[in-house]
Amino acid sequence: QVSTAVVEPYNSILTTHTTLEHSDVAFMVDNEAIYEVCRRSLDIDRPSYLNLNRLIGQIVSSITASLRFDGALNVDLTEFQTNLVPYPRIHFPLATYAPVVSSEKAYHEQMSVSEITSACFEPSNQMVKCDPRQGKYMACCMLYRGDVVPKDVNAAISIIKSKRAIQFVDWCPTGFKVGINYQPPTVVPGGDLAKVQRAVCMLANTTAIAEAWARLDHKFDLMYSKRAFVHWYVGEGMEEGEFSEARQDLAALEKDYEEVGTDTINDDDVSEY
């Protein structure tokens, strides 16, 4: 829907392959998902990159807020890596942000901690299109900001756990890492987003994100099977082999996600222990 280049699948896969071994945590953002959030929650018929980037800006701001402001439970950037990445390659947390409220429709009544927490588990608020209900969570980090107290957070998380709607892998404790920052979200004056008292950004490492890789790989395959546009890259000094190497690496990444999502002990394996 918002695409600046037809070769985006090539660029995404080549970049991911090249940076996979060198980055500790990478937050994925899917233009289509953010486009839909803008249309649905902000009533913008034709979102522009400015609209998309303002929403992404809120997420970057939430992730780095603990470096800049004080709070009850501050989260250091290195803690994301420690708490969200079980294996070096599985380092693509899914970001979700709530509430996304348009300045025209600003609620007279602010959303409670429990409401914004529940909203984080709605696929419609995610920054990548995938369905976590079909996948398993490995780790979950909730970054609250504004008028939020630990008691309300504990109550909200208890409600989420009691619903049993979210499934964790069996080799990981169902722990939620929580950060609370007292600085409420700041919005661009005259922008699309309403000023709210409290907000939350959830970073979850879930196997469902493999759906996004599968979609990207499929788009790559459609073009690469015909070697479409490859000559532009070769003309810039790349070798064609780099394409297939990158694609194989991404296939391996999909497999990695599949493996971490499978239960550790199957009935067949029990006898071996």
CATH of residue 59's domain is 3.30.1330.20
Beta bridge partners of 178: 142
Structural domain total, the chain: 1
Residues ≥6 apart with Cβ < 8 Å to 134:
208, 211
* C-alpha atoms less than 13 angstroms from C-alpha of 164 in its C-beta half-sphere: 0
The verdict on residue 145 lying in a domain is yes
Residues ≥6 apart with Cβ < 8 Å to 87:
256, 260
Residue 42 token pair = 């902000």
pLDDT at residue 262 in the model: 87
Q: Walk along the chain (273 residues) in steps of 10 and give the mean pLDDT of each run.
A: 82 96 93 93 92 94 87 78 93 96 77 94 94 92 93 94 84 86 90 92 96 96 96 96 97 96 61 39
pLDDT at residue 69 in the model: 83
pLDDT at residue 269 in the model: 47
The verdict on residue 203 lying in a domain is yes
| Helix or strand holding residue 205 (H, E) | strand 198-206
pLDDT at residue 268 in the model: 46
For the stretch 75-131, pLDDT in tens is 778 888 889 999 999 999 999 999 999 888 776 667 899 999 999 999 999 999 999
The verdict on residue 12 lying in a domain is no
The verdict on residue 29 lying in a domain is yes
User: What residue numbers bound the domain in which 132 lies?
Assistant: 25-207
The verdict on residue 11 lying in a domain is no
pLDDT at residue 271 in the model: 39
Query: Per the confidence metrics, is the pTM higher than 0.85?
Result: yes
The verdict on residue 152 lying in a domain is yes
The verdict on residue 259 lying in a domain is no
Q: Give the three-class secondary structure for 145.
A: strand
Cα 265 from Cα 273, distance rounded (Å):
10
Q: For the CA atoms of 118, 119, 121, 127, what is the dihedral angle to 10 degrees?
A: -160
Verify whether residue 272 is a known catalytic residue.
Answer: no
Q: Which of 8, 32, 36, 79 is the catalytic position?
A: 79
The verdict on residue 10 lying in a domain is no
